[in-house]
Each structure stands twice: as C-alpha cells, then as structure tokens.
Amino acid sequence: MTDRIRALAADALPEVVRLRRAIHRRPELAFQEHETAALIAETLRQLGIEPITGVAQTGVVAHVEGARPGPTVALRADIDALPITEATGLDFSSETDGVMHACGHDAHTAMLLGAAGILHELREEWAGTVRLVFQPSEEKAPGGAHVMIEEGVLGPMGGHDGPAAIFGQHVFPELAAGLIGVRGGMFMASADEIYLTIRGQGGHAAAPEALVDAVLVQAHVLTALQAVISRNRPPGVPSLLSFGKVVAEGATNILPDAVQIEGTFRSMDEDWRARAHGLIRRTAEKTAQAFGATCEVEVREGYPALVNDAALAAAVRETAVALVGEDRVVDLPMWYASEDFAFYTQQVPGCFSVLGVGNEAEGITHGLHTPRMTVDEAALETGTAFLAALAVRQLAAGA
Ligand code: NI
C-alpha cells in the first residue's frame, strides 16, 4: 500500500504544486478565505468528492469514503495567510499587497487536496471514512479551529461519524526537504498575551518622595514575575514569560503617571497554565501595591498547549519510517510556537507533525512568518503521500 501511495503522490506532485502556487498568488487573511475556499470546493468536486462549504464561515469539510464501512479519521489543513509583504521574488508571488502565505498554509491546503485524490483513487482498498478539514483563521486568535469544533467538525457530519483521530502537519523550513518530524506528548505551547498597566503618580523626577515612581515599580514587577514563574513551574513543564513592550512616556526629568507592559506567557501544560495566570495576576498586583502603585492585569488567552497522543504519535512515526525511511524521520524537541490544532487534540486523540521544506543549497532557509519564507516544493510529494498514508494506516488499525 505504501508503494502505491508513494507512486500516486509522485503522479500528483505537478497538480499539488499548481494548486499551491495558485493559492500562494491569492493569499487571504483569517475568515476572508473566500477564493481559497472556492478553489478547494471546486478541486474536490472535480475529484468526485462533494464538499460542505461555509463551515466556520470560510472553512470546507469533505468526506472520502472507502469501499467498506468503518471508522472515521480526520486530516486537517489550515488555509489562511498573514499580513506580511512578500519579498521572495518568486514568479508566483502574492498578488495582494501586504498579504502573504508566509506560514506555508498554501502548501498544507494543496497537500491535503492531493491526499484527497490519492485516497479517492484507492478507495476500494480501505474501509471507513476520511474527513478532510480545511480550516480558516489559524493565524489570528481566537482562531478558526474552535469555531469549526462548535460547528460540529469533530462530531457526526454529512451522514458520517465523528473522527476517532485527527492528524495535521506543518511545513518547517529549518528541516531539510522531505524529512518528517514527530513528537509524542507535549509538543507546542499555549500562548497567552499579558497586558499590564502600572499606575503611580507622575511629576518632577527630582522630587520622587512626593510621587509614586511607576517606572521603578515596573522594574520590580517584571523581575518578580520572572522569579515567580521560574520558582513555581512544575518540574518537566517548560514555561516562559517574555515581555517585549514597555512604554513609559516620561523624560529625563519627568516621571510618568503610568507604564504599560505587554508580553507573552507560554507553557506546555494546561493545569500549570491556569495556575500561572493566577500567580501572574497576584504577583503584579501585590508588587505594585507594596510600592503604593496599582497594577491592572489582563490575560488574553490564546491557543492551548498542543499535546500529541503518545500512542498515535508512535503510529505516526512508524508510518513516516515506512514512507521515507528511518534516517529521514526526526524526533522533534518541543516547540514554543502555538497552533490552534491544539483545540482538536483537547477533544480527540490527535497528532501534529512537521514536514521539512528547507533546502540550503537553493537558499530556502527563511523561517516561518518572514517575508522571504518559501518551501522546496519537492517536499510536497512526501507531505501529500504522508497524509494519505496516515489516514489509511489509522483506518486499517481500526482508528
Ligand atoms: Ni502555520
């Protein structure tokens, strides 16, 4: 079966590349992916697969049915682009000013369409249903995944059972093209935005005894927060706090009334995440209070921690080894980025893996979310085959 999938993916590569480039030319931001959704729906119809459109506004869901009844597994691709001005110089560069597929979601979408074709072609060979999930708005919190879930993408839909497992993959320029990276358990971080407003009392910097120095309070608050997080995090649970914006609009001789601080808190564990929010709040408020200032704390919750199901990840690794060979499968470290695929894995066993798309010789090394990010398209053959193989293998195992 793996050989047949590999051969069909090789045949499908020109079409997958064509689709990827068509999507790349016409990038659309979160929940505005109308053209992209239309292209997905049209491509599916040409394959003989009837799409369900308008799920979570611009999402598309479809089902590929095997010859015999059986369980359902889901494959997910995200379809949105980023507010970045492209600087790759490619002849299929973005035609929309200030919008770019700089996170490879064009490739994710094209590979899932390619996999749909392979699964459809091989439908006599497997039992069950593959649910294709084309999800809008991965890049913009609160994200499209939880809207897709609210609209039933993990439950019965279109006459098919909900999925027993869900798979997704992300392109990764730091890994050589065609390599597959997998990790079981904690994989990607939760990401919450932290906004602090420290209010003191401003005035002449030469008379601090009559004032409350919000700038000095800010220094203590940041130091205390770092200490509290590092001292309280459970062993084995990576966690970080980074503040990238501190605004104090005083001057050499003026103390401001207030200081604004913005940062991010990330962790790999949902219990600790919830507890850390409380600690951040208490520490900032009480530290400010000790100096006679106040601190307003706002925690805007982003995506949860992404934890890959351990058994599923082991099966994904085996599938990868069967497809590309042991020497082309990488055991990944944890990754502090966040992904709304995490919402799916909170509800059904799931595994999110990465596909190497880098090519140092061709200078394809620019990171995700940068204006020169691109992918070595040869890797799309591997990614397409891998998605199809994951579904077939999982269904054969009884999902
Ligand atoms: Ni992405």
Q: How far is the CA of 80 from the centre of ligand 1 (A)?
A: 9
Among candidate residues 225, 366, 396, 319, the one with its CA nearest the CA of residue 6: 319
- pLDDT by residue (tens digit) across 132-176? 999 999 999 889 999 999 999 999 999 999 999 999 999 999 999
Give catalytic residues, as residue numbers.
303, 377
Q: How far is the CA of 210 from the centre of ligand 1 (A)?
A: 51
Q: How far is the CA of 181 from the centre of ligand 1 (A)?
A: 15
For 5, half-sphere exposure in the C-beta direction (CA atoms, 13 angstrom radius) is: 25
Q: How far is the CA of 106 from the centre of ligand 1 (A)?
A: 10
Q: How far is the CA of 28 from the centre of ligand 1 (A)?
A: 14
- pLDDT by residue (tens digit) across 222-269? 999 999 999 999 999 999 999 999 999 999 999 999 999 999 999 999
Which residue has tokens 């995506």? 303
Q: Please name the residues in contact with 226: beta carbons below 8 A apart, sequence gap of 6 or more.
A: 241
Which residue has tokens 């994710």? 108
Instruction: Report yes or no: 22 and 28 within 8 Å, Cβ to Cβ.
Output: no
pLDDT at 159: 93
Report the Cα 366 to chain-centroid distance in Å.
Answer: 18
In whole angstroms, what is the distance from residue 68 CA to residue 386 CA? 22
- pLDDT by residue (tens digit) across 369-396? 999 999 999 999 999 999 999 999 999 9
- Average confidence (pLDDT) over 300-306: 96
In whole angstroms, what is the distance from residue 375 CA to residue 366 CA? 9
pLDDT at 218: 98
Mean pLDDT for all residues in the chain: 97
State the pairing for strand pair 203-204/254-255: antiparallel
pLDDT at 362: 87
Q: Please name the residues in contact with 326: beta carbons below 8 A apart, sequence gap of 6 or more.
A: none
Q: What are phi and psi of 14, to 5 degrees?
A: -60, -40
Q: How far is the CA of 170 from the centre of ligand 1 (A)?
A: 7
CA distances, 357 to each of 96, 99, 375 (Å):
24, 21, 5
